[in-house]
Structure 1
Amino acid sequence: MKNSKLSRRTLLRGLGALMALPVLEQMQPSMARAAGPGAAPRRLAVFYVPCGIFMPNWTPKGTGRAWTLSPTLQPLAPVKDDVLVLSGLSHEPGRSEHSGNHASGTGAFLSCAKVHYTDDVAEVRAGVSMDQIAASALRSQTRLPSLELGNDGGDGTGACDDNYSCAYARNISWAGPTSPQAKETNPRAVFDRLFAGFDPDATRAQVERRKAYEQSILDFVSEDARALKQRLGARDKRKLDEYFTSVRELELRVATLDQQSMVCAKGPRPEQTEDVREKTKVMCDLMVLAFQCDLTRVATFMLGNGRSDRVYDFLGLTSGHHRYSHHQNDAENHAALAKIDRWEMEQFSYLLQRMKSVQEGEATLLDNSLVYFGSELADGNSHGHRDMPVVLAGRGGGAVTPGRHVRYTGEPIANLFISMLDSVGVGVSRFGDDGTGPLPLLKE
């Protein structure tokens, strides 16, 4: 049985629980048929940060392969050969004719289509985002069409920036002009959605018994896991053990976050009860596991909502991010922004390193993905939408040649999104308000 082929949709079952599996070598033939001849699955991920970037500390020196990491980009050193820094791209659809550039830029972040401004903030209209175009085309390939995650909650009611709807500032993923894809901000809910779904064939007694025990999902599928291992070769067994370890470690971390939140809730309701440092890493781990299991091929993560004024006290800062972003060329504000930007890049680097650690045949999960890093603005003080801070990580299965710094002269980010969609087999000739074709120079 060791050499028998497995379907990529194989699940472990036990006591009313279902658990997805990582991509195993014995699944490769069926996965290749789904993704194309000889191909592993291709994924798209988005990592959004709010309030722009302090650009003097961002832009690298040198171009092509002869480039050096800037102070803000230093955390990317372990994955320098896996990233493309793209300078000079514009995002003009995000520009507002009013004063709400954070909301307008965030609402248009992935659609490259100008959002609707009106005196009635309940009247929302935006463009369909790049991730949702991919999700719609790939939805038959995975259990979840897409995964939308974030650190900060909040609904879409009211005005969040000038008279722009909060729906624009709090969402980057849009399935339709009036349909933002609400992000999940509870790590435990994300984990349950991905890995702890209930078996529809389970009996009521099995479900109740499972609820009665505070055990790992691994305990409930252990019998099925033992049977599966008898069918696997040595490399797949090792990969399965590594996957089980990752799931268990993540379970414990999610449970710790949940317990901390409950303890805080016993007193007066706090304004903020979660540690953004740990929560961000857990969300990154959840994205990696979702890709690793081929539960979805499209994911977005918002480190904060548009115009976030989070106080990064653990960085020794006492004011909010948005206030610092209006730096007025003050040296102290520049120094504060440099700390925030570098910390954000450390989180992005963590995600990329986790993706690079997952082997998929001769390549890695990162090799088979494209991961877009960006913000709604360039400089937060001037509310600029030209020369945006953009990093594209991964190889997209060969669609991109990373390890370089490429300078453009005002080409729209929409053209980059056309190229990213093409990497997952979704062909579009135009995109958003200003996308006219694939972005050149992504591949040597």
Structure 2
Amino acid sequence: MTPRKPLARRTFLRGALAGGALVSLGVPLLDAMLPTRPARADAPKVLPIFGIFYWANGMPWHAGHGETQGQGGYPDLWTPAATGPAYAPSPLLTPLAAHQVSVVTGLEPKTVIPDVPGGQGDGHMRGWHVAMTGAPMRSEGFDQPSHTMTVLQPTLDQVVATNEQFYGKTPPRFRSLQVGVSEARFHDFGHWNAISYTGPDAPIAPVMSTAQLHGLLFNVPGDLVSLGRRARLLDAVLDDAESLRVRLGATDRQRLEAHLDSLSEIQRRLQLTSGTCDPVPPVPEESGDLLVKTEIMGQILAVALQCDLTRVFSFMLTSPATTHVFANLGVANDMHKTCHDGAWEQVRAITDYQMQAFARMLDQLAKVKDAMDMTLFDRSLVFGTSEYGEGYQHSDREMAVIFAGKAGGKLIPNVHVREPEGNFSKAHVTMLRAIGIDTPSFGFNGGETSDQFSELLA
């Protein structure tokens, strides 16, 4: 029998609206899209998913974070007692135990701390930048008193989303999605408001409303003719920019290139806007409950991943230095103040609650299977982290690193690796290689490394 030709992965259901406007609906991954497999060697390549789950204010402090933090005699509730495979989860990792997450403990930033301007060693800022970008913050324009800063490098989700080894030459409609849950903010600018950056001074605001996320992903645009006109207009702009490029100096040319890259991405998105998911899930209700909203956001995200609308996401549960008030836990003050007040037991309860939220998001990925009978969770590598080790004194020692999922079989689950005073970017190298990006090294400005945690790679 002659093997059938598989359907294209970007197959659409096409039709016409009143007035003749054409629309198309994307479909989930189907068996008919997969090649016939006369032998096991012909099995299709698993397409990995990469995500970041971020929570605020680190973990409860203990002696491993510094002398001051050790004076209270508080136990380390984060680090598992034993290393290696099949470790017994620590109290704060117990909410994630069902998902057999792998953890690396002991890591910290290794970037150089410039003397000028002062304050760049503050763990609140240094830890976040290294965890999310592998680099320090940009010294130019940094001001500690007003907490003003920006990145030097794109955040890890954007590194993955723009790497051709991950998406190839045909990225999906959304290179990445950014979602958030808690509305509370320490500041309403910069990384206090968003954890994804395409580059310096270029944050990507997360979608905070479940209804808005649903509409962004699944609504068919009402005016497809207008969208086509806008795409053609960008075509003309990009053509005109080519003639301008040759008349510019090197610095201006770099600025123009960055702008053109943004315009090209907008144009690509406009061309794909008419495609969505079928069947479309119902519009969800909004919720002010952190766990419920996390679950709803996770459900919507899972459908988008199943429909191949994206394979990269960032999930900001609580924003850096969050002022979220966990009143449901009996905590009267916002979390940022609670940390600085030294209320260890309340911070412990809040951290446990945030891990419960993380587990609920992972639950949604574990519920959904693709056409190869693999769950989205098994295809995923979800990087769980926070901005520093603890929020009482802003220590960036013993920072959180969680690897959830199996990256399509490339990542070994349920392993604890401990490397006291280890380089945080060693985790970055491990993640990138697990999802198929052949990076020779990662890290910047003193944090560079080519090493990986081989114990975690299959």
Aligned residues: 368
Give a deviation string over 1:113-132, Cα, whole Å, max 9, x none.
11124349777443212211
C-alpha distance in 1, partners of 2:60/2:423? 21
Q: Which consecutive aligned stretches of 4+ in structure 1 deviate over 6 angstroms post-superposition?
A: 120-123
Give a deviation string over 1:278-319, Cα, whole Å, max 9, x none.
322222222222211111111001112111121111122211
C-alpha distance in 2, partners of 1:387/1:203? 52
SS at match of 2:170: helix
C-alpha distance in 2, partners of 1:183/1:341? 22
User: 8 Å contact 1:46–1:372 — kept in the other structure?
Assistant: yes
Unaligned runs of 5+ in 1: 31-35, 205-224, 226-239, 261-273
Question: Which of 131, 134, 138 is the matching residue for 1:109?
Answer: 131
Structure 1 residue aligned with 2:154: 128
Pairing 1:316–2:322 present: no
Pairing 1:191–2:214 present: yes
Pairing 1:142–2:172 present: yes
Distance 1:28 1:200, change over 3 A: farther
Question: Which of 71, 75, 78 is the matching residue for 1:58?
Answer: 78
Pairing 1:395–2:406 present: yes
SS at match of 2:85: coil
Pairing 1:281–2:295 present: yes
User: 8 Å contact 2:184–2:322 — kept in the other structure?
Assistant: no
Distance 1:19 1:348, change over 3 A: farther
C-alpha distance in 2, partners of 1:311/1:10? 46
User: 8 Å contact 1:17–1:199 — kept in the other structure?
Assistant: no
**Displacement after TM superposition at 1:386 (Å):** 2.0
Distance 1:99 1:136, change over 3 A: closer
**Displacement after TM superposition at 1:23 (Å):** 2.1
**Displacement after TM superposition at 1:152 (Å):** 4.5
User: 8 Å contact 2:179–2:316 — kept in the other structure?
Assistant: yes
Q: 1:279 is matched by which residue type in structure 2?
A: K
Matches within 5 A, 1:300-315: 300-315=314-329
Q: 1:132 is matched by which residue type in structure 2?
A: Q
User: 8 Å contact 2:184–2:324 — kept in the other structure?
Assistant: no
C-alpha distance in 1, partners of 2:96/2:225? 46
**Displacement after TM superposition at 1:100 (Å):** 4.9
C-alpha distance in 1, partners of 2:434/2:32? 24
Q: 2:194 is matched by which residue type in structure 1?
A: N
Distance 1:203 1:405, change over 3 A: closer
C-alpha distance in 1, partners of 2:112/2:317? 19
Pairing 1:78–2:98 present: yes
**Displacement after TM superposition at 1:154 (Å):** 8.8
Structure 1 residue aligned with 2:423: 412
User: 8 Å contact 1:104–1:168 — kept in the other structure?
Assistant: no
Pairing 1:297–2:320 present: no
C-alpha distance in 2, partners of 1:76/1:337? 18
Structure 2 residue aligned with 1:439: 452
User: 8 Å contact 1:108–1:114 — kept in the other structure?
Assistant: yes
Q: 1:189 is matched by which residue type in structure 2?
A: Q
TM-score by length of 1: 0.74
Unaligned runs of 5+ in 2: 37-41, 62-75, 228-275
User: 8 Å contact 1:94–1:109 — kept in the other structure?
Assistant: no
User: 8 Å contact 1:374–1:390 — kept in the other structure?
Assistant: yes
TM-score by length of 2: 0.72
Pairing 1:38–2:39 present: no
C-alpha distance in 1, partners of 2:336/2:384? 19
RMSD, aligned α-carbons:
3.3
Structure 2 residue aligned with 1:268: none
Structure 1 residue aligned with 2:344: 334
Structure 2 residue aligned with 1:383: 394
Q: 2:60 is matched by which residue type in structure 1?
A: F
Matches within 5 A, 1:423-438: 423-433=434-444, 434-438=447-451
User: 8 Å contact 1:103–1:168 — kept in the other structure?
Assistant: no
Structure 2 residue aligned with 1:174: 197
C-alpha distance in 2, partners of 1:374/1:94? 21
User: 8 Å contact 2:194–2:319 — kept in the other structure?
Assistant: yes
Q: 2:162 is matched by which residue type in structure 1?
A: S
Q: 2:360 is matched by which residue type in structure 1?
A: Y
Give the share of equivalent positions with the same residue, in percent: 28
User: 8 Å contact 2:131–2:424 — kept in the other structure?
Assistant: no
**Displacement after TM superposition at 1:107 (Å):** 4.0
User: 8 Å contact 2:410–2:457 — kept in the other structure?
Assistant: yes
**Displacement after TM superposition at 1:169 (Å):** 2.1
User: 8 Å contact 1:127–1:176 — kept in the other structure?
Assistant: yes
